[in-house]
Amino acid sequence: MPNDHDLVIIGGSLAGYQAALAATELGAKVALVEPQAHYEINYHHVLRGVGKITNYSRLGANIGLDYSQLAAKSHLSDHWQETILYARSVAANLIEQHSLANLAAHGVDIILGSGEFQTSPQLGFKVNQRLLQGRIYLLACGSRPAIPDIDGLEKTGYLTLENIWPYLSQKHPPGNLVILGGVPQSLEIAQTLAYFGYKITLICDQTHLSKYLEPEISQLLIAQLEADGVTVLNDIEVTQVRQIGDKKWLQAGDKAMETEEIIIATGQQPNVSSLNLSTVGVKYNSRRIFVNEHLQTTNQRIYACGDIIGGYSLTNIANYEAYTAIHNALFLPQTKINYQCLPWVISTQPMAAKVGLTAAQANQRYDKSRIFICKQYYKSLTTAQMHNEITGICKLVVLESGEILGCSIFGAEAGELINIIALAMSKQVKVNDLVNLAPAYPGFGEILSQTAREWHKQKLHQNHLLQELIQSFLHFRRDWNW
């Protein structure tokens, strides 16, 4: 029996949308199965993403907010509802751009509803009494919050990153919140809410906010959050939660604290429990679906992408996985996933951005004597002084050959600057080429060339013979009359 579709995509995540669009542009016949309730989750995901950018004064100016007054307020900002309305309008525009109607206009067969895989008479996906049969299947169904096992938490109740925005959109939202977890989204939301006058306590059970960040950048980020009014408690575990009157109480280490509401942001788990994956031989656990380097699951006709295969919920990485999976699925599975040159950003203010290896990771993989750590601080930049953005650091991890192994940036425009390093790494551009970069002046791009020059300084400092040769040549030139 011939297949009805070249590709059947299960899940309405943004990665699934991008995969469907990319496959149709290649001429494939595509079906997208979208649970109706899942679209609402996407809406709040976009709203959360828009909400975090209200940290920036330029957005406040655009919608008429006086941020100098906001920062001085100890109570919940009167402008919060205005910001929520603005964020909703932007979210509505984004959703319209990524609508199912747009996919349908491109020829994607849209099926609303939930379904499951079956193997008889052959591999297919059954939804709404309809059996979809495709040559290849792609799981892009996103994830849901993983709730930690804390005594009293279920009974007391909590919010998650999925339902926080509708809750805070009410007329009189609570002003005292505790956020559990150190994922990028929790840091962004903590800073955003604190900026608008919420009393925020962020609790993380790790020593650093993220194991993927350079320790010094993690410390700078903590300092920035605390300067913005967030109480950060890291390396502390919450052991119990209780409802006492109209307040909630948490036991965090040896501290007992009162709050009006708890937000859980400790991680995600895949939305796959209803898909009957075990029947079709797809292995998974509570944290992720197992895939190979081509993004094939343990059933080679079924691929997966996005946060259901593990890691943080980051749009650019999910989209990269979606495009890789599509090309492997529609043609031959030859393209290997490579995260080494993929940048990621924590959209706090300032941003924290990273690509490649940290210094600690590089020292584990290579001989330490071959590793050069180059650092430069934002306070050296003219534009940083002009815009009062002097808090920041750029750190390059480089091999003695000049190969760039990684970069971490904390500071203004870090999200844009890290893209340059990511491109350089993907094209195997050496650090010496960054030294010769002549970025527009004044601009934050100078931090890259300044940091790269540190590699030259360190190389010269280690090469005593070269230093002597240079000094001898310069001495010769001084005595040489033209």
For residue 370, the domain's CATH number is 3.30.390.30
- pLDDT at position 43 is 39
Are 289 and 325 in the same domain?
yes
Query: Are 431 and 402 spatial neighbours (Cβ–Cβ below 8 Å)?
Result: yes
Ligand-binding annotation for 181, yes or no, is yes
The crossing angle, in degrees rounded to 10, of helices 446-462 and 414-426 is 50
Ligand-binding annotation for 175, yes or no, is no
Q: Which two tokens stand for residue 385?
A: 């002084």
Asked whether residue 475 is domain-assigned, the answer is no
* Residue range of the domain that includes 133: 5-144+269-330
Ligand-binding annotation for 435, yes or no, is no
Ligand-binding annotation for 423, yes or no, is no
Ligand-binding annotation for 134, yes or no, is no
Ligand-binding annotation for 311, yes or no, is no
E strands, 93-223, where? 109-112, 115-118, 124-127, 130-132, 134-139, 143-145, 159-160, 176-180, 199-204
Ligand-binding annotation for 267, yes or no, is yes
What mean pLDDT value characterizes the chain?
83
pLDDT tens for residues 268-326? 888 888 899 999 999 999 889 999 999 999 999 999 998 899 876 788 898 999 999 99
CA distance 289 to 172: 40
- pLDDT at position 290 is 94
Distances (CA, A) of 121 to 1, 33, 131: 10, 21, 11
Are 370 and 224 in the same domain?
no
pLDDT tens for residues 137-149? 999 988 888 898 9
- pLDDT at position 441 is 83
Ligand-binding annotation for 261, yes or no, is no
Query: Are 137 and 297 spatial neighbours (Cβ–Cβ below 8 Å)?
Result: no
Are 136 and 12 in the same domain?
yes
Ligand-binding annotation for 12, yes or no, is no
Residue numbers in the chain where pLDDT is lower than 70? 1-2, 36-81, 207-209, 312, 460-468, 470-477, 479-482
Residue matched to tokens 């350089």: 424
Are 170 and 241 in the same domain?
yes
Instruction: Report the number of distinct structural domains present in the chain.
Output: 3
Query: Are 198 and 51 spatial neighbours (Cβ–Cβ below 8 Å)?
Result: no
Ligand-binding annotation for 184, yes or no, is yes
